[in-house]
Amino acid sequence: MHIEHVAIWTFDLERLRAFYESSFGARASGKYVNPVKQFESYFLTFDSGARIEIMRRPSIAARPAAEAAERAGYAHLALAVGSRAEVVALTDRLRAAGCPVVDGPRVTGDGYFESVVLDPDGNRIEITADRPI
């Protein structure tokens, strides 16, 4: 058994697609549109085969980034980029582009080297080296 994909609601589908493509090298599927349900989505695929589905429907309201703090439910998405140097380089690039960096880069208590950033909708993303130290 494996996780097939993780889905994230967004109020700006194209902005979130572009963020994951440019920041993490995801490749977007063709856009799926269901006009009856007023639903649109993309599947974003990473080199490893992992996938995220990003979805939009007008009834899903925007959530301010200030509300993106810890809460019950979805906590974060962890994306392994390889080495410590790659974690630092990507974090620096995202910070320079105006992406909020919440924490790190640092070694966590359980031995991971990571940083935590927020995507354009305020979802937490852990950028990690491949394996704990």
Complete DSSP assignment for 90-114: HHHHHHHTTPPEEEEEEE-TTS-EE
pLDDT score for 99: 96
67 occurs within a structural domain? no
pLDDT score for 131: 74
pLDDT score for 60: 75
pLDDT score for 2: 76
The residue segments making up the domain with residue 24 are 6-56
- Fill in the DSSP letter of residue 46: -
CATH number of the domain that 123 lies in?
3.10.180.10
Cα(69)–Cα(71) distance, integer angstroms: 6
Q: Into how many domains does the chain fold? A: 2
> What is the chain's pLDDT, residue by residue, as a tens digit (133 residues)?
778 899 999 989 999 999 999 999 999 999 999 999 999 999 999 999 999 999 999 887 655 555 545 555 678 899 999 899 999 999 999 999 999 999 999 999 888 899 999 999 999 999 999 776 6
64 occurs within a structural domain? no
Cα(47)–Cα(3) distance, integer angstroms: 15
pLDDT score for 64: 55
